[in-house]
Amino acid sequence: MRNVVWSPEAENDLYNILAYWIYRNRSSLFSIKLKAEIQEGINAISLNPEIGKKIEGDNARLKLVRDYWIVYDITEHEIEIISIFDTRQDDKKLKKKFNKE
């Protein structure tokens, strides 16, 4: 099991997603459940880093949890969470993050 580290961008992505759902639902219940599901996905990644779909032309990988891509990179000693991306957004935004347009 590899150590998992979060990029500041990924932390910000998660915060914004959870804050959005708290505001939209006027309750934190869904956000708590979503955060737990994302953490389960990250736990699965740490146990089997190759589980995610490889991004073409990049070392990063994607793991789908609900409607969100967990974007991560694997190094020898750790897994870095790069971003949490809502799949309902235009995928051009994700490609732009990796300069793949």
The superfamily in CATH containing domain 3-89 is RelE-like (3.30.2310.20)
| pLDDT band of 57, cuts 50, 70, 90 | confident
Any idea where the domains of the chain sit in the sequence? Answer: 3-89
What is the Cβ-side half-sphere exposure of residue 5, based on CA atoms within 13 angstroms? 9
Helix axes 29-47, 8-25, angle to 10 degrees: 150
pLDDT band at 101 (very low <50, low <70, confident <90, very high): very low
Share of the chain above pLDDT 70, in %: 88
- Euclidean distance between CA atoms 34 and 32, whole angstroms: 6
Q: Is the pLDDT of residue 100 over 50?
A: no
Q: pLDDT band at residue 88, thresholds of 50, 70 and 90?
A: confident
Q: What is the mean pLDDT of residues 35-61?
A: 93
